[in-house]
Amino acid sequence: MFHNGRKTIGVFAEKMSSEVQHKVCDGIIREAMANGYNVALFSSQGSYGQSHLFCVGDMQIFQLPPYEDLSGAILILDTMDQKENIQKVINIVKNRCRCPIVSIRMTIPGIPTVLVDNLTCMENVIRHVIEDHKAKHICFMTGPKDHFDAIERLNSFKDLMEEYRLPIKEHQIFYGDFWTLRAAAACDQFLSSDEKPDAIICANDYMAVSLASELIRRGYRIPDDIIVAGYDGLDYGLSFSPSITTAEAPLEEMGRTSVRLIHEKLVRGITPKTVYLKSKLCLRESCGCLNGHDLKLMSIRRNQYETLQLSSHMSTVFSYMSIQLAEYTTMDGVSDIIGNYLGNFTNLRSFLACLNRNMDIDHKMFRYTNEMDVRVAYVDGEMRPRANIPFQKKDLIPLECASDEPQAWYFLPIHFLDYSMGYEAFRFQEDHPAGKTSFQFDVMLSNSIHETLIHAKMQKMIGELQSSSLHDALTGLYNRGAFTTYGGQMFDAARETKQPIFIAVLDMDNLKQINDVYGHIEGDYSLKRVATAISKCCKDQYIFARTGGDEYYVIGQEEAEETIEACLKAFDAELDAFNATKQKDYEIHASHGYYYDVPNANDTLDDFVKVADRFMYHNKLENKKRRGELLR
């Protein structure tokens, strides 16, 4: 895989850009590369909002991996929003992978797992609050009721409260979301009692920061009025003021450990077992054990400030990118604009937009095509203008975008709702292997590609409408309107240049009799046969049209009148040859006449048509007499 002959470890996750996933993946990539492995990270974005169709399209990224070719698989699925999606990924990995599988932070039956000892990690925080700060009335904000980590961390809280003989009332436990959206509801519940809490402990830092922010908004001082503590040890909690006391989970070490378990199985044959890692208590401002002048805290806040500045800059950059993308309706145009902005990604080494072959807006794709095309290529810091690089999906990336050293690529879906259009591939510099992608960028790229497909469909429809407005539906020849337009232009040019021009009028004989005796389907057949004969015998530079029920016009420029007569004789011969085959119970004939001259200043196209029509009618009478037909 990746064209370098190295073994590849596949990583399956969601919300790869979050700080938690970023640190875990950093550990995975660094340990894998140290042992000579490639890493392929496949990530969905998550079910933002309630769009079922978006979620369907998002999950298609897990149809991409060549599972059978992986040498190891790591599941980081605890951040995945939908339970059914978690099970889908587990099933496909179990059924198709022929390699060691390890899970991180989530217990999966039959799969060894790298876990943090939740009982110990929460114990350190809770004991600190009780023993060092003498807190007695303590509330706990846990995660979703059915989440493994939430259950264990809540049990740790209950056990310690019982150990210290501190009562727990119903309002002291609140089930959150492991995110930032339930802080107000939690405060409402925790503050509903007459007894103000001494401390509120949260099962992760995201909830702790949002809860502290809500308490401050309501006029509470932290830690003077209420102590707040969290869990995870994220820089996110350090950037807030006051910084959040927490238990730091060894996220990078979890990633490294998962790779070591796979490596030991591949190299030494040692079957992986579940591993528990210890967390570290981090005392900060929200419990009163650290002041804001701590050098480490100031350094982290400086880094967070720079991160926020970069985030603000990227938001502005992507807004301008969105404005420019709206001006372009082709994939080449989209590629040009995207290329102008890729340099804004920190530590980006390569980026590929890999699109399905032969996409059609009218036929949705729900999986990737076997043949893909790279349409945006930023490789080793250089943009390849208007790329169109074909490759096989099983290879994930084209040969010309690979390298011999161990590689780590991130793969994210390109889709519009449930319509799969391809995927993105990111590769970051080796000194910052776990780079940050942007959901905003992904959405804009997907929407822009979808817009190009819509524009292509609209142009096709416009072309078809224009064609239908100019062509006769039965025969495919030009119609009267097109003949008037294009024939008129040819006639006007001949008049201005004083060049000879001819008009031929051809009229099918006995169409009514064929319709009456054999039916209109046969009548239509005979009209198309006449049109075929005209197309075959007339030169490409002539303009010919079906201008009425059984009437056809031809216009063209010729130096010699004999050439026109030769074309009409060839037309007659074509119909005679068809009639000789006896394919039909009737014969097909047509009469014709033409007028050939140099138009003078007062002549019009209609003038030439009228003269040609008189000659045609005269010939029609002669033909009927010759064939012994009664004039009808």
Beta-bridge mates of residue 290? none
Q: Where in the chain is the domain with CATH 3.30.70.270?
A: 480-627
Secondary structure (3-state) at 353: strand
| CA-wise closest residue to 201 among 248, 250, 245 | 245
Question: What pLDDT, on the 0 to 100 scale, is given for residue 80?
Answer: 85
pLDDT computed for residue 170 by the predictor: 92
230: nearest Cα among 187, 185, 184, 281: 281
Residue 287 to residue 223: CA distance in whole angstroms:
5
Tell me the CA end-to-end span of the chain in Å, nearest whole number: 79
Residue 467 reports pLDDT greater than 80: no
Of the candidate ranges 80-89, 203-212, 328-337, 577-586, the one whose mean pLDDT is the lowest? 328-337
User: What does the block give as tokens for 270?
Assistant: 């040692």
CATH architecture of 116-292: 3-Layer(aba) Sandwich (3.40)
Q: Check pLDDT > 70 for residue 292.
A: no
- Answering whether pTM is above 0.75, one says no
Q: Where in the chain is the domain with CATH 3.40.50.2300?
A: 116-292
The yes-or-no verdict on residue 227 having pLDDT over 50 is yes
pLDDT at res. 581 = 93
Please give the C-alpha separations between residue 136 and each of 23, 200, 204, in angstroms, as whole numbers. 35, 11, 21
Cα separation, 138 vs 616, whole angstroms: 105
> What would the pLDDT profile of 244-284 be if each residue is shown by its tens digit?
999 988 999 999 999 999 999 999 999 889 999 988 898 99
* Lowest-confidence segment of 223-232, 338-347, 425-434, 524-533 by average pLDDT: 338-347
User: Domain spanning 480-627 has what CATH number?
Assistant: 3.30.70.270
- In this prediction, residue 207 carries a pLDDT of 95
C-alpha triplet 596, 602, 605: angle, nearest 5°:
50
Three-state DSSP state, 255: helix
> Residue 90 pLDDT more than 80?
yes
- Mean per-residue pLDDT of the chain: 88
Which has the minimum average pLDDT: 176-190, 276-290, 439-453? 439-453
Is the alpha carbon torsion for 478, 482, 488, 489 positive or negative? negative
> Of 111-125, 372-386, 449-463, 601-615, where does the model show the most confidence?
601-615
pLDDT at 631: 46
Within 8 A by CB and 6+ apart from 172, the residues are 137, 138, 139, 140, 190, 197
More confident position, 22 or 315? 22
Average pLDDT over residues 97-119: 90
How many Cβ atoms are within 10 Å of 610's Cβ, its own excluded? 13
Please report which helix (H) or strand (E) contains residue 44, including its range: strand 38-44
**Is the CB of residue 487 less than 8 Å from the CB of residue 571?**
no
For residue 542, pLDDT over 90 is answered with yes
Q: What is the pLDDT of residue 632?
A: 44
Structure tokens at 597: 């001259």
Between CA 528 and CA 515 the distance in angstroms is 14
Q: pLDDT of 306-318, one tens digit each?
A: 666 666 666 777 7
The secondary structure of 108-160, three-state, reads ECCECEEEECHHHHHHHHHHHHHHHCCCCCEEEEECCCCCHHHHHHHHHHHHH
CA 507/CA 272 separation, integer angstroms? 87
C-alpha pair distances (Å), 16 with each of 20, 68, 115, 363: 8, 23, 19, 30
CA angle 546, 547, 550 (to 5 degrees): 70
Max CA distance (Å), the chain? 123
Residue 628 — very low, low, confident or very high, per pLDDT cuts 50/70/90? Answer: confident
Q: In residues, how long is the chain?
A: 632
Other residues' Cβ atoms within 10 Å of the Cβ of residue 71: 20
Judge whether residue 188 has pLDDT over 50: yes
Q: Provide the β-strand partners of residue 39.
A: 9, 408
Q: Is the pLDDT of residue 293 over 60?
A: no
Most confident of 33-42, 50-59, 451-460: 33-42
Instruction: Taking residues 316-324, report their average pLDDT.
Output: 75
Residue 63, pLDDT > 90, answer: yes
